[in-house]
Structure 1
Amino acid sequence: MAQRVTAWVGWVWFAAFAILVSGLFNVISGAVAVFSPKTVVSWTPDGIAVVDVSTWGWVHLALGVLLLFVGFALFSGAGWARVFAIVLVILNLLAQFVSLPITPWWSLIAIVLDFFILWALTVHGDEVARANR
Structure 2
Amino acid sequence: MSQQAAHPTGTPTGTTSSPRSPRSRGDGDGWVSGGVVFAGVLMLCSGVLAVLQGIAAIAKDDVYGSVGNYVYELNLTGWGWIHVILGALVAVTGWGVLRGESWARFTGIFLASLSLVAQFLFLPYEPLWSLVMMAIDVFVIWALASQQETAGRKVA
> What's the TM-score bracket when you normalise by the shorter of the two chains?
0.7 to 0.9
| Aligned residue runs from structure 1 range 71-86, under 5 A | 71-86=94-109
Rounded to whole Å, the distance in 2 between the matches of 1:51 and 1:82 is: 30
Report what 2:67 is aligned to: 42
**Greater strand content:** 1
Rounded to whole Å, the distance in 1 between the matches of 2:134 and 2:105 is: 19
Q: Secondary structure at the match of 2:67?
A: strand
Give TM-score, length-normalised by structure 2.
Answer: 0.70
User: Unaligned 5+ residue runs, structure 2?
Assistant: 1-21, 24-28, 152-156
2:52 aligned with 1:28: yes
| Equivalent residues, number | 121
Shift of the 67–89 alpha-carbon distance from structure 1 to 2, 3 Å rule, reads same
Fraction of identical pairs, as percent: 34
Q: Which has the larger radius of gyration?
A: 2
User: CA RMSD, aligned part only?
Assistant: 2.3
| Deviation by residue 1:48-77 (Cα, 9 ceiling, x = unmatched) | 346411111000000011011101111121
2:45 aligned with 1:12: no
Aligned residues of 2:66 and 2:125 also touching (Cα < 8 A) = no
Rounded to whole Å, the distance in 1 between the matches of 2:59 and 2:104 is: 31
Report what 2:124 is aligned to: 101
Rounded to whole Å, the distance in 1 between the matches of 2:140 and 2:77 is: 27
Report what 2:146 is aligned to: 123
